[in-house]
Amino acid sequence: MSSTSLVQRLKSKGDFFAISLDEPQLLENRESFELENGTQVSVLDSGIIRFTPATTPNKAVVYSCAVHGNETAPIELCDDLVTRALTGQITIVQPLLVIFANLPAIKIGQRFVEENMNRLFSGTHSKGVSVLNDERKRAKRIEEVVTEFFTSYPELSDRHHYDLHTAIRDSKHEKFAVYPYIENQPRSEEACYFLKASGIDTVLLSDKPTTTFSYFSSSQFNAQAFTLELGKVRPFGQNDMSRFSDIKSQLDDIVCTATYQPASCDLNELNIYRVNQTILRETDSFKLHFDDDIPNFTGFSLDEVMASEDSVEHKAEFEGEAIVFPNAKVALGQRALLTLVKCDLQYGVIES
C-alpha cells in the first residue's frame, strides 16, 4: 500500500488500531499528515499515534490502554476516539498521544506474553537483564515517546495521563482509580472532580513509588495521572459500552473542549482509601483466608485473619479493613495482598 493510500484509508476509515494489530508493516514509514480541520497526525509506532491541534493548546494529554492485553473495554474506548478524530467526527484541540501498549498480548487475548508490563516502567524494563524481551522493549519505547511528547510542550504545565484498565475480579466498587504516590504535594481536588464526572467514585491512594505506567508520568512529568480500573475484563464485543458513557464523554471533553472543566462535587461522595498493609508472599506456605473469587474492596472485621504463612497471621487492624488485588500465586517476595482503610484525600501529605 502506498503512503498516499494509507493516509486516505486512515482518514476515511480511521482504523489505526486494526492496522496496528493486523498489518503493522503498513505503518513502518511513520506517516505524518494533516486532517481537513488542520490537526496534524503523526504515526509514531504501531499502536502509538499523536494528534497536534491547529489551535493553541492549554494542556497535553496521554490516553493509554492495553498495558494488559486482555482488557478490551479500554481498547474499544481508545480505538473509537482515534477513529472519530481521524475521520473528522471530532476535532482535537489539545495535543493528544494515544497508546495501545501491548499489541502482541492483545493478539493472543492474554494479560501479557512474558511478563506484566505494568511492572516495567520507570526504567525497570532495563534492570537486571542483558537482553530485553518484547514487553521490556515496548515499555522502554513507550517511555521514550511519552518523554518526547511532554517535553515538546515545556509551556504546558497542565499535563494529563489516564492509563485505562479493567480488572480481573469483581469489585464492590465497580470503577476505581489508583492515585499514584506523590511526594510533598497535596493531591488534586480537581482531579477527583474528573473522576466523579467519569463515573468513578472510589480512589485508592498509593503510598509509595511503583513501576506502573501512571506513576512514571506522575513522577517524571508531574502529570495528573491515574490507573483507571473501569470494570471487569470481558472479551472483545461483550462489553456493555453504555457502562462507559461517562468516562467516554470526559475523555472526549478533555481533548475536544478548550475550556474543559470537570463539574465540582462534594469529595465526601467519594470512597477514598489508603493502603494499610502490604502483605508479601514470603514462603510456599503462604495462603489467603478467603475465597478465590472474593470481590475487591471486601471488608473484614477487626482481628479477622486475612492471610497467613507458617506461624504468622495477617489480621485486619481496623474494623472494615478492605482487601484489594489478592493473588496468592505471585512469586516469592512479591505482593500478594493490599489492605485498605478509608481516609481523606490529603491523608499522609507532608506539609511544606
Quote the CA–CA distance of 135 and 111 in Å, as a whole number: 12
Residues touching Zn ion: how many (CB under 5 A)? 3
Q: Provide, rounded to whole angstroms, the least separation between the CB of residue 224 and Zn ion.
A: 19
Secondary structure string (H, E, C) spanning 232-288 = ECCCCCCCCHHHHHHHHHHHHHHHHCCCCCCCCCCHHHCEEEEEEEEEECCCCCCEE
What is the pairing mode between strands 176-179 and 321-324?
unpaired
| Closer to Zn ion by Cβ: residue 111 or 136 | 111
| Closer to Zn ion by Cβ: residue 45 or 71 | 71
Binding flag, residue 165, Zn ion (CB under 5 A): yes
Assess whether 229 carries a catalytic annotation.
Answer: yes
Residue 66, classed as helix, strand or coil, is: coil
Quote the CA–CA distance of 177 and 210 in Å, as a whole number: 15
Binding flag, residue 175, Zn ion (CB under 5 A): no
Q: Restricting to residues 289-318, name those near Zn ion by CB under 5 A.
A: none
Angle of helix 72-86 relative to helix 3-13, nearest 10 degrees, comes to 110
Quote the CA–CA distance of 214 and 212 in Å, as a whole number: 6
Residue pair 40/52 in contact (Cβ under 8 Å)? The answer is: yes
Quote the CA–CA distance of 57 and 94 in Å, as a whole number: 5
| Closer to Zn ion by Cβ: residue 91 or 166 | 166
| Active-site annotation holder among 135, 143, 229, 309 | 229
| Closer to Zn ion by Cβ: residue 7 or 66 | 66
Region binding Zn ion by CB under 5 A among candidate stretches 78-86, 163-171, 244-252, 291-299: 163-171
What are residue 188's phi and psi, to 5 degrees? -85, 125
| Closer to Zn ion by Cβ: residue 165 or 281 | 165
Q: Provide, rounded to whole angstroms, the least separation between the CB of residue 146 and Zn ion.
A: 18
Distance of CA 81 to the CA centre of its chain: 16
Quote the CA–CA distance of 257 and 18 in Å, as a whole number: 27
How many CB atoms within 10 Å of residue 16? Answer: 25
Quote the CA–CA distance of 45 and 334 in Å, as a whole number: 33
Quote the CA–CA distance of 26 and 39 in Å, as a whole number: 21
Q: Restricting to residues 52-91, name those near Zn ion by CB under 5 A.
A: 68, 71
| Closer to Zn ion by Cβ: residue 230 or 251 | 230
- Contacts to Zn ion by CB under 5 A: 68, 71, 165
Residues that are catalytic:
229
